[in-house]
A and B are shown apart, each in its own frame.
Chain A
Amino acid sequence: MKFIHTADLHLKKGEEDRLEIFGWLVKKADELRADYFLIAGDLFDSDADGTLLRKDVRRICDAARCRFIIIPGNHDADSFGSGCDYGRNVVQLIQKPFHCLEIDSFKTCGVPYQEERFGECVKDLPGGIDILLAHGTVYDQSYIYPLLSDRETEYMPIFPVDLQNVARYVAMGHIHAHSVMLHYEGTQVVYPGSPIALDTKCDGVRSFRLVVVERDSIEVQEHVIENAPYYLSKEFFVYPQAEARVLETIEEFLHSIDDPRVMPRVVVQGYIAEKENEYLSALSSLHHKYESKFPNLRFDPEIQSWDTVLANPMVRNFVAKTTDLDDDLRMKIFEVCLPVFSKVLK
């Protein structure tokens, strides 16, 4: 059994590029001769979008050679059901707490999004499941912490113990930013990440998973979505006496990008000896110069101007002596020392 695994397309009326990428993915599935196309939740951005775009999705699915297996996510929980026609090619796994089918002699189950703990949803799940689709947040300490600020992680908490031996391959959805691969005692858990750069957290090339399941093996391949724009965040640390050089580095970075899919996000952090408005103006000029080159270009400056204290030669000497330190330590030294210098060296 060969299938494509993706999730979180968040198709939305007015965001036609998302539908285009969906169409591209479906064609790709046929090219790769995939038997099935798994969507682990949030096909639509909202139930209203589900209603508006259902006919388009049906058209794409009807034209496909492969079949589709879909579970509802938290954004489109009510967009599926017997009253929602997605064409002959689509299998909706909508029964709660779980919905099991035997597909090509492989036991396949879906856990549609529901306001329950995952553990409660799968308590009566039969054994010997090959593929499980679910939409929620796996609270694994290896990757979860940077994502906790996102309130989306409140939905359907899943703990590693819930996934141990639950199935051979768990096709997850809900984490947009990037792909995540986890292993729990005989269970391979994969978040493919959103195939579309929904926000700046969706950093890096967008991809999907091609999975080949045999009786005694599972092969998972990551495939890049060739036409999906993606954010490429780069942090630049600016220091006193290096302001101009950092501007040059930023320009070099922007100049060097020749992938038309890239949506650069330039984060400028640090401390400057120049006036803040002058430096921001210089950044703005750079933005203006390159904005037409990319589908989207963002500048996020987080700089502090310490022009007064950095006029002091001793401080400048001090700053110069930090040049060889790594950025984190250097930033922290400035964070600690510049206010002290400012206060003491009036």
Chain B
Amino acid sequence: MRIKSIRVGEYGPLRDLSMNPGHFDVVFGLNEAGKTAFVEVLGHVLFKRSAAGLRYGKPEGAEVELQENDRTCTLPAKRLGIELPVGDVANLLYVQASESIVFSDRGTRFWDGIKTMLSKADAGIPFTKLDEQIFKAVELQPTKEEWTRAKQAEIDGKRQRKEALGDYLDKIGEIGKKEAELSALAVRHDFLKKEIEKIGHHRAFRNYQELVRVHHSYVETRTVLQEYERYKHEYLGGWQKLNIERAACTGEGQKVKEIETEVLELERKRSRLSEIDQYISDEGLKQRSDSVEAPRMPSVVLPSVIVLLAAIAAAAALISRVLFFPALFLLAGSLSFFGFVLYRRRLVKRIMMKRQGWLEKARKVFPEVGDIDQLFERIGNNQTELIRTTASIEEKKKIIDQISTARAVDVIDGEIEALRAKTGLAEPSDLEAKLSEKRKLENELADLATRLSGLLQENDSKKWERMINERKVARPEGEADLAAEKELISERDSIRNRIDELTRSVKLFREVEQARSEVSDDRTAFIEYDKLDRELRNYELEKHAALKAREILKSMSSELDQFIGGVLEGEDSLSEFIRAVTGRYEKVFVENENFIVEDRSGRKYALDDLSSGTKDQLLLCFRMAALRQIYPNGAFMILDDAFIFADWQRRERLAKLVQNFVEKGNQVIYLTSDDHTRDLFAGCGARVVTLT
């Protein structure tokens, strides 16, 4: 790649400058001849440097024609057929005076400066700074590759929040079901409550109705009973007495006669009974029969057998002369017993003869009597009948006496009329019926009073009406199944318990869990969970992106390291060029990201130990070696008084190095205001272009 032509219209001191550079040109111009303006135009057109920093504004009409192999293109242009020498190598192509000062002024490490030069077309920003800024943008710590404390706290907070919401979301289904059950139970509970209230109302009304009814019956019965006040028991007794009295007075003479006849008859009967009683008494039948009990006749069979046996025994003893006396004694005893039995038989026989004699006497008055026992019964009956007959006679005589002392009929009738007037009844039987009714009513009233005092819990009947009024209940609407009350209450209580249990559970969740999770509603929880999930995944992706960016930047940096390493040794290398320029240093290598220069004695010098001029020369050599690597077919290089700080000996060596660079197919344009340098380059074969 080479510059084929340069055209500048008007820019500062330059007017219609036209130049067709050869392989090696030295552009000479005194101060204010437009040399720096020329460099500015090239920088703007070739390297797209901003016009903002140019002294004379945007250079209008400036053109640079480039050629690469058989292709050419004219800058500036929107689309180019060849790749512009910008970016990685742009800084290689343009060399200012004292490059080392540039780097040290910016305060960056030399190595970073080299890399910056190789990597960017703009201000020197090291990769490490980019890396830091990227990490800062996502709040990662560059050294630890971990989140900053604040970011980590934020992520932890969001992660915890997400977990809490996750737990919440896992639970809401169950709670939803409980809430649904709760809602259903609440409806059922309300229904039951109303039904029970309705039944209660019906019951209260029924109780009230019952109170009213009972009280009404009570009042009514009491009123009815007042009408029965005229019916009194004493009236009935008096009335009956009067009736008897009247009956006596109204000449029941016939009846008196009948009674007298009856009395006469009874007296005759008493006389007969008395005679019998007298005969019994006289004969002493009762006392005798009482004193002697009927004896039993003893048997003689057993004593006879005993005597026989004793006699046999005595005979045997006599014959055998054994136990004669005991046998004799036994015989005597048995004979004595036999004699006693005979005596008892005689005595019984005598008593029986006596009793037969009494019975025969008694048969004179009681001929039908068969034995002594019947006799005793008959005697008792006779005495009883005698007493009864005597009493009856006395009673009937009293009646006869009463009748004989009776008042006048009209007086009795008057009294009876008075009773009729008092009772309003005709006969005692009517009064008796009324009194029976009255007794029944009194009982009913007492029952009613007992019920009322029980229902009202008050014994004072005067208060009852007021109390009932106070308990007045409006008539309920519709029907109620009073029999179902117990069942309904049982179901209601059961539901109440379940509601309490569910309410506790749901309340615990809604008030505690929901409050703990700071959730306003379930859908919001889902949305927030999703948002947090996306945020957390985004954080991870951001972290991944930052780490990947670091990896890329490191690889870019590493590629530059490798490139620089390749430039150090071999043909057309940095070491070869620095040896040719300085004649002192043999070798250049890299240690700890810094150039180290070694002289012929093997002594090593760090870059900071070198002079500014040597640093510049090192950088120039590095550029030329790098360009040889990048553009093996040749590139252009613009040197802006790049040897100004070199001594004359090194300047000559540099000129030779540049000449050699040109001979290897490269193009060099050197700008200088120094006529010695111009001549030096002219001596090396450079074409001189003078700015005027």
**CB contact list, B104-140 vs A, under 8 A:** 119-123, 125, 129-130, 133-134, 137-138
Query: Chain A's nearest CB lies how many Å from the CB of B555?
Result: 7
Query: Chain B's nearest CB lies how many Å from the CB of A116?
Result: 9
Tell me, in angstroms, the Cα distance from A162 to B137 when the chains sit together. Answer: 46
Segment at the interface with B among A42-50, A98-106, A326-334: A326-334
Tell me, in angstroms, the Cα distance from A227 to B522 when the chains sit together. Answer: 39
**CB contact list, B21-53 vs A, under 8 A:** 48
Query: Taking the complex as formed, is B87 at the interface, i.e. its CB lies under 8 A from any CB of chain A?
Result: yes
Query: Chain A's nearest CB lies how many Å from the CB of B169?
Result: 7
Contacts of B523 in A (CB 8 A): 139, 148, 153-154, 157
- A-B contacts at CB below 8 angstroms, number: 121
Contacts of B125 in A (CB 8 A): 344-345
Contacts of B177 in A (CB 8 A): 119, 159, 161-162
Give the A interface residue count (CB, 8 A). Answer: 42
Tell me, in angstroms, the Cα distance from A160 to B529 when the chains sit together. Answer: 18
**Is B134 a contact partner of A340 (Cβ separation < 8 A)?**
yes
Contacts of B88 in A (CB 8 A): 313-314, 317
Query: Taking the complex as formed, is A299 at the interface, i.e. its CB lies under 8 A from any CB of chain B?
Result: no
Tell me, in angstroms, the Cα distance from A124 to B88 when the chains sit together. Answer: 77
Query: Chain A's nearest CB lies how many Å from the CB of B184?
Result: 4
**Is A332 a contact partner of B526 (Cβ separation < 8 A)?**
no
**Is A321 a contact partner of B545 (Cβ separation < 8 A)?**
no
Query: Taking the complex as formed, is A346 at the interface, i.e. its CB lies under 8 A from any CB of chain B?
Result: yes
With contacts A313-B88, A317-B87 taken as known, whether A144 is within 8 angstroms of B526 at the C-beta atoms is yes
Query: Taking the complex as formed, is B546 at the interface, i.e. its CB lies under 8 A from any CB of chain A?
Result: yes
Give the residue of A119, A154, A312 whose beta carbon is less than 8 angstroms from that of B121: A312
Contacts of A141 in B (CB 8 A): 169
Contacts of B133 in A (CB 8 A): 340, 343-344
With contacts A139-B526, A313-B87, A340-B133 taken as known, whether A145 is within 8 angstroms of B545 at the C-beta atoms is no
**CB contact list, B62-95 vs A, under 8 A:** 86-88, 90
> Which partner residue on chain B sits nearest A139 by CB separation?
B526
Query: Chain B's nearest CB lies how many Å from the CB of A323?
Result: 11
**Is B184 a contact partner of A321 (Cβ separation < 8 A)?**
no
Contacts of A343 in B (CB 8 A): 133
- The interface bits of chain B over 629-659 (1 if a CB of A lies within 8 angstroms of the residue's CB, else 0) are 0000000000000000000000000000000
Query: Taking the complex as formed, is A337 at the interface, i.e. its CB lies under 8 A from any CB of chain B?
Result: yes
Contacts of B253 in A (CB 8 A): none
Tell me, in angstroms, the Cα distance from A316 to B552 when the chains sit together. Answer: 12
> Which partner residue on chain B sits nearest A319 by CB separation?
B552
**Is A321 a contact partner of B552 (Cβ separation < 8 A)?**
yes
Query: Chain A's nearest CB lies how many Å from the CB of B620?
Result: 22
Contacts of B529 in A (CB 8 A): 145
Tell me, in angstroms, the Cα distance from A340 to B136 when the chains sit together. Answer: 9
Contacts of B174 in A (CB 8 A): 161
- The interface bits of chain A over 299-336 (1 if a CB of B lies within 8 angstroms of the residue's CB, else 0) are 00000000000011110111001100100110011011
Query: Taking the complex as formed, is A117 at the interface, i.e. its CB lies under 8 A from any CB of chain B?
Result: yes
Query: Chain B's nearest CB lies how many Å from the CB of A344?
Result: 5
Query: Taking the complex as formed, is B179 at the interface, i.e. its CB lies under 8 A from any CB of chain A?
Result: yes
- The interface bits of chain A over 96-140 (1 if a CB of B lies within 8 angstroms of the residue's CB, else 0) are 000000000000000000000101101110000000000000010
Query: Chain A's nearest CB lies how many Å from the CB of B91?
Result: 11
Contacts of B87 in A (CB 8 A): 312-314, 316-317
Give the residue of B137, B176, B555, B556 whose beta carbon is less than 8 angstroms from that of A336: B137
Give the residue of A159, A314, A340, A345 whose beta carbon is less than 8 angstroms from that of B176: A159
**Is A119 a contact partner of B179 (Cβ separation < 8 A)?**
yes
Q: Which residues of B contact A (CB under 8 A)?
A: 48, 86-88, 90, 119-123, 125, 129-130, 133-134, 137-138, 169, 172-174, 176-177, 179-181, 183-184, 522-523, 526-527, 529-530, 533, 538, 541-542, 544-546, 548-549, 552-553, 555-556
Q: List 27 A-B contacts (CB under 8 A).
A: A119-B177, A120-B180, A122-B180, A123-B183, A123-B184, A139-B522, A139-B523, A154-B523, A159-B172, A159-B176, A159-B177, A162-B173, A162-B177, A312-B120, A312-B121, A314-B87, A317-B87, A317-B556, A318-B553, A321-B552, A321-B556, A328-B541, A329-B544, A332-B542, A332-B544, A337-B545, A344-B129
Question: When A and B form their complex, which 6 residue pairs have the shortest distance between CB atoms, in order from nearest?
Answer: A313-B87, A161-B173, A119-B180, A159-B173, A332-B545, A145-B530
